[in-house]
Structure 1
Amino acid sequence: MYGSLVDSLSSHAALRPEQTAYRYLVTGDIGGEVQDVSYARLAHRSRAISAWLQERGLEGSRAILLYPPGLEFIAGFLGCLSAGVIAVPGVAPQGRSQNHRAVTRMKRLISDSNAEVILSSRGVAATLSVMGESLPELAELTCVDTEEIPDDMAASWRKPDLTADSVAFLQYTSGSTSAPRGVMVTHGNLMDNERVLTERMGHTPEAISEYDNELFVSWLPVYHDMGLILPVLNSLYLGTTTTLMSPLHFLQKPDRWLTAISKYRPHTSGGPNFGYELCLRDTTPELVEGLDLSRWRVAFNGAEPIRAATLRRFTETFKAAGFRHEAHYPCYGLAEATLMVSGGSVSVPPSLVEAAQEGPRAAMDAAIVSSGQAGPGMNVVIADPELRMTLPEGETGEIWVASESVAKGYWRNTIATRETFRATLEGDSTRFMRTGDLGFLRGGELFITGRLKDLMVIDGRNHYPQDLEISAEMAHPALRPGCTATFSVDAGKHAGEGEQVVVVAEVAPESADDLEKIMGLVRGMIGETHGLTLHDVVLTLPGTIPKTSSGKIQRRATRAAYLGGTLSPVGASATA
Structure 2
Amino acid sequence: MARSLVDLLTLHASQQPDRTAYRYLVTGDCDGETQDISFGRLSGRSRAVAAWLQERGLAGSRALLLYPPGLEFICGYLGCLSAGVVAVPGVPPQGRSQNHRALTRMKRLIADADAKVILGGREVIAALGAMSEHLPELAEITCVATEDIPDEAAGSWREPDLTADSVAFLQYTSGSTSAPRGVMVTHGNLLDNERVITERMGHTPDVIAEYDHELFVSWLPVYHDMGLIGPVLNTVYLGVTATLFSPLHFLQQPQRWLTAIDRYRPHTSGGPNFAYELCLKHATPELLDGLDLSRWKVAFNGAEPVRAATLRRFTETFGVAGFRREALYPCYGLAEATLMVTGSTVETPPALVEAAGTGPHAGAADAAAVSSGRPGPGMIVVIADPERQEPLPEGEIGEIWVAGASVAKGYWRNTLATRETFRATLKDREGRFLRTGDLGFLRDGELFVTGRLKDLMVIDGRNHYPQDLELSAEMSHGALRPGCTAAFSVDSAVDGAVDSAVDGGVQGEQPVIVAEMAPEAAGDSDKITDLIRSAIGEAHGLSVREVVLVHPGTIPKTSSGKIQRHASRAAYLAGTLSVVGAPAMR
Aligned partner of residue 500 in structure 1, secondary structure: strand
For 1:231 and 1:183, locate their aligned partners in 2 and report how far apart those are by CA, in whole Å.
Answer: 20
Match of 2:230 in 1: 230
Offset of 1:150 from its aligned partner? 1.3
CA deviation profile, 1:122-169 (whole Å, cap 9, x unmatched)? 111111111123310111100011111111111111111100000000
Aligned residues: percent identity?
76
Q: For 1:159-558, what aligned pairs fall within 5 Å after superposition? A: 159-354=159-354, 366-492=367-493, 493=496, 494=499, 495-558=505-568
- Name the CA shift for 1:232/1:365 in 2 (closer, same or farther; >3 Å): farther
- Deviation for aligned residue 1:2: 1.8
Q: In angstroms, what is the RMSD of aligned CA positions? A: 1.6
2:453 and 2:393 mapped to 1: Cα distance?
18
Q: Distance in 2 between matches of 1:98 and 1:515?
A: 28
- Given that 2:336 and 2:408 are in contact with CA atoms closer than 8 Å, whether structure 1 keeps it comes out as yes
Q: Which amino acid aligns with 1:508?
A: A
Contact 1:94 1:127 in 2 (8 A): no
SS state at 1:68 partner: coil
2:551–2:580 contact (8 Å) kept in structure 1: yes
Partner of 1:226, secondary structure, is helix
Cα distance in structure 1, aligned partners of 2:30 and 2:212: 19
How far residue 514 of structure 1 moved from its aligned partner, in angstroms, is 2.7
Distance in 2 (CA, whole Å) between partners of 1:163 and 1:392 is: 39
Letter in 1 for 2:384: A
For residues 70 and 464 of structure 1, what CA distance do their matches in structure 2 show?
A: 37
Q: Secondary structure at the match of 1:454?
A: coil
Give the superposition deviation at 1:473.
2.0
SS in 1 for 2:559: coil
Letter in 2 for 1:438: L
Runs of 4+ in 1 over 6 A off after TM superposition: none
CA distances 1:374-397 after superposition (whole Å, capped 9, x unpaired): 111111000011100001111110
> Kindly tell me: are residues 245 and 502 of structure 1, through their superposed partners in 2, closer, same or farther at Cα, counting changes over 3 Å?
same
Q: TM-score, normalised by structure 1?
A: 0.96
Per-residue Cα deviation, 1:492-537 (whole angstroms, up to 9, x for no partner): 3542421111111222323333322322222222222212111112
The whole-number CA distance in structure 2 between the counterparts of 1:35 and 1:391 is: 51
Shift in Å, 1:97: 7.2
In 2, Cα distance between the equivalents of 1:483 and 1:292?
Answer: 30
User: What does the per-residue CA deviation read over 1:95-124, in whole Å, with 9 as the maximum and x for residues that have no partner?
Assistant: 677532222211111110001001112111
SS in 2 for 1:387: coil
* Distance change in 2, residues 1:95/1:538 (3 Å): closer
CA contact 1:21–1:241 (8 Å) conserved in 2: yes
Structure 2, unaligned runs of 5 or more: 357-364, 500-504
Deviations 1:10-64 (A, max 9, x none): 0000110110011111111111111111111111110111111111111100001
1: CA distance, partners of 2:25 / 2:291: 18
Q: Is the 8 A contact 2:526 2:583 kept in 1?
A: no
Which residue pairs with 1:104 in the alignment? Answer: 104
CA distance in 2, matches of 1:265, 1:37: 19
Determine the structure 2 residue equivalent to 1:563.
573
Letter in 2 for 1:498: G
* d(CA) in 2 for partners of 1:478, 1:368: 26
Give distance in 1, aligned partners of 2:195 and 2:575.
48
| 2:575 equivalent to 1:572 | no
Tell me how far apart the structure 2 counterparts of residues 72 and 568 of structure 1 sit (CA, whole Å): 36
Q: Quote how far apart the aligned CAs of 1:301 are.
A: 0.5
CA distance in 1: counterparts of 2:99 and 2:280, whole angstroms: 28
- Segment drifting more, 70-79 vs 539-548: 539-548
1:57-93 deviation digits (Å, cap 9, x = unpaired):
1110000111111111111111100110000001122
Structure 2 Cα separation of the partners of residues 80 and 56 of structure 1: 13
Judge conservation of contact 2:278–2:482 (CA < 8 Å) in 1. no
For 2:156, the equivalent position in structure 1 comes to 156
Match of 1:26 in 2: 26
Conservation of the 8 A alpha-carbon contact between 2:185 and 2:409: yes
Tell whether the 8 Å contact from 1:182 to 1:410 is kept in structure 2 after alignment: yes
d(CA) in 1 for partners of 2:83, 2:345 = 37
Find the counterpart in structure 2 of residue 59 from structure 1.
Answer: 59
TM-score calculated relative to the size of structure 2: 0.95
Deviations 1:153-193 (A, max 9, x none): 11111111100000000000011101100000000000000
Q: Which moved more, 1:475-484 or 1:193-202?
A: 475-484
Q: Deviations over 1:540-576 (max 9, x none)?
A: 2222211112110110011111111112332222233
In the other structure, the counterpart of 1:132 is 132
Aligned residues: 570
**Distance in 1 between the 2:480 and 2:533 partners?**
13
Matched residues in 2 for 1:169 and 1:397: separation? 31
Q: Distance in 2 between matches of 1:94 and 1:501?
A: 34
Q: Distance in 2 between matches of 1:98 and 1:389?
A: 44
Contact 2:28 2:246 in 1 (8 A): yes
Greater mean deviation of Cα atoms: 23-32 or 511-520: 511-520
Distance in 1 (CA, whole Å) between partners of 2:426 and 2:75 is 42
Q: Matched residue of 1:570: which SS?
A: strand
